[in-house]
């Protein structure tokens, strides 16, 4: 099971138990009141008591989920509306989409229960604001205690969830009252629009020829106090570049890949942990671990009992890697960064029907091979695509439209120099290898960072 989904189930079990306990306490108190009223010959509103008990249990679970059980990490804010939605789109991961949709779902019960418990809340202009201000109170408390983020996205999604719950319960109440479709049909507009929006997002993604890139921006940062100096030539002409297909994996084929790898290396991986775009295999006894990326079959192998590297020569490392079952294509260029990192790189090296691109790193510590990071990918040419002009990509960077702009924003005022713009490649969410522009940014004489901008005109 996906590790984040397992975490959600754990929270549901934990907070669900609290909700059930609160519901039982409220119902126990209601039973006492019922007994007293019965002796007096008075009626007791059991239906409303049950709804109030459910509402109390829900609010207890909501407070537990959002305000307790978290480590304090300081005041964090997000005032960029729909940032979470864009992050979910860029990564198109189970975790990020669940974060968005669960924030909606968390407030649906509030919209359902308030109109059932109190008749005045059968007016939308009372129920929806209660959802907003409840969310606002939670966000403010999270900010004050440092146990969460004050996030305008949460305000929006929580309020939306409350509105959806309200609309659904009003449809049920009006149908129960045998009202005509003219009365209850308008309440379906909000749920229908929400379902169409979510369905449309996933349909657009399915129809896209390529996947999304994690380096795409989730919001535009304010970099008005950053001074940019361009120290390299940029072209205004849009060229073209090849898009490649990588050897992407599914959960099942990833398990087969790890089993074959373990057999070649003479090890075993008894445990597996599943995430959005990778699986982490581990042998806690030997210390061997293997994390495999679904998108392009790249992996990181950490050796529990690292073999000694007798010599740092290309032939010696190739032989050692071959003993571990790791093949390095002939023609890959060998280089040594220092005494601890050795590289094999390929710049679209043709081998049979595929080409190899990327690099394989060998990390050595005290003469022992400790880790292999294999991003040397087998690629199949897919299609030549038009590129964004370099000058336009540079303009996007200066406007703050790139992933990691928060680093620049936190250092303002800031003076930087862009010394180079090159084409590199990055795997997208559908397993394609897309071109991206890589800008080298300096602060004075010191390297500051590298900025990546998606290079395709219509990715």
pLDDT at site 174 = 95
Q: Is the pLDDT of residue 14 over 90?
A: no
What does DSSP assign to residue 294? Answer: T
* Pairs from 436-441 (Cβ < 8 Å, separation ≥ 24): 436/213, 436/215, 437/388, 437/390, 437/393, 439/393, 439/394, 439/397, 441/416, 441/417
125, 88: one domain:
yes
Which of 8-22, 31-45, 168-182, 235-249 is predicted least confidently? Answer: 8-22
pLDDT at site 8 = 75
Which residues span the domain enclosing 290? 246-378
166, 253: one domain:
no
358, 415: one domain:
no
Token duo for residue 457: 């005109």
233, 258: one domain:
no
SS3 247: coil
369, 399: one domain:
no
Q: What is the pLDDT of residues 99-119, one digit of tens each?
A: 999 999 999 999 999 999 999
Q: Is the pLDDT of residue 353 over 60?
A: yes
Q: What is the pLDDT of residues 325-346, one digit of tens each?
A: 898 999 999 998 777 899 999 9
pLDDT at site 87 = 95
369, 329: one domain:
yes
* Domain-located, residue 212: no
151, 89: one domain:
yes
Do residues 149 and 117 lie in contact, with contact meaning Cβ atoms separated by under 8 Å? no
Do residues 90 and 212 lie in contact, with contact meaning Cβ atoms separated by under 8 Å? yes
181, 257: one domain:
no
157, 19: one domain:
yes
User: H-helix or E-strand containing 113?
Assistant: helix 108-117
368, 394: one domain:
no
Name the domain boundary from 334, 356, 378.
Answer: 378
Number of domains in the chain: 3
Name the domain boundary from 320, 348, 378.
Answer: 378
349, 259: one domain:
yes
Token duo for residue 341: 């990192």
* Domain-located, residue 221: no
pLDDT at site 202 = 96
Q: Which residue has the higher pLDDT, 134 or 149?
A: 134
φ, ψ for residue 52 (rounded to 5)?
-65, -35
């Amino acid at each position: 099971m996906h590790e984040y989904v397992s975490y959600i189930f754990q929270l549901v079990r934990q907070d669900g138990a609290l909700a059930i306990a609160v519901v039982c306490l409220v119902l126990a108190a209601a039973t006492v009141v019922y007994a007293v009223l019965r002796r007096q010959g008075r009626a007791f509103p059991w239906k409303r008591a049950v709804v109030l008990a459910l509402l109390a249990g829900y609010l207890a679970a909501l407070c537990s989920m959002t305000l307790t059980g978290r480590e304090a990490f300081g005041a964090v804010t997000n005032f960029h509306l729909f940032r979470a939605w864009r992050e979910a789109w860029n990564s198109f991961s189970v975790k990020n989409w669940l974060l968005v949709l669960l924030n909606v779902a968390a407030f649906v019960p509030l919209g359902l229960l308030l109109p059932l418990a109190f008749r005045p809340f059968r007016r939308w202009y009372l129920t929806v604001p209660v959802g907003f201000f409840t969310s606002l109170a939670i966000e403010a408390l999270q900010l004050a205690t440092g146990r969460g983020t004050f996030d305008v996205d949460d305000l929006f999604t929580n309020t939306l969830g409350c509105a959806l719950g309200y609309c659904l319960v009003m449809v049920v109440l009006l149908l129960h009252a045998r009202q005509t479709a003219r009365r209850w049909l308008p309440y379906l507009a909000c749920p229908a629009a929400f379902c169409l929006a979510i369905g449309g997002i996933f349909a657009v993604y399915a129809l896209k020829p390529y996947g999304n890139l994690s380096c795409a921006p989730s919001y535009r940062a304010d970099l008005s106090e950053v001074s940019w100096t361009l120290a390299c030539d940029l072209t205004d002409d849009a060229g073209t570049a090849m898009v490649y297909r990588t050897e992407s994996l599914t959960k099942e084929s990833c398990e087969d890949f790890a089993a074959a790898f373990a057999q070649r290396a003479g090890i075993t991986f008894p445990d597996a942990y599943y995430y959005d775009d990778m699986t982490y295999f581990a042998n806690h006894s030997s210390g061997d671990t293997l994390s495999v990326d679904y998108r392009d079959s790249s992996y990181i192998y950490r050796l529990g009992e690292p073999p000694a590297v007798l010599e740092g020569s290309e032939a010696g490392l190739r032989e050692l890697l071959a003993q571990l079952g790791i093949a390095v294509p002939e023609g890959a260029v060998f280089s040594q960064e220092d005494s601890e990192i050795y590289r094999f790189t390929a710049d679209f090296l043709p081998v049979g029907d595929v080409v190899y691109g990327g690099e394989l790193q060998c990390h050595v510590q005290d003469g022992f091979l400790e880790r292999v990071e294999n991003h040397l990918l087998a690629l199949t040419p897919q299609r030549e695509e038009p590129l964004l002009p370099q000058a336009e990509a540079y303009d996007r960077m200066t406007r703050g439209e790139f992933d990691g702009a928060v680093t620049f924003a936190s250092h303002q005022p800031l003076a930087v120099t862009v010394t180079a713009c090159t084409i590199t490649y990055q795997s997208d969410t559908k397993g394609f290898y897309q071109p991206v522009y890589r800008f080298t940014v300096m602060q004075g004489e010191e390297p500051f960072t590298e900025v990546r901008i998606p290079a395709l005109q219509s990715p």
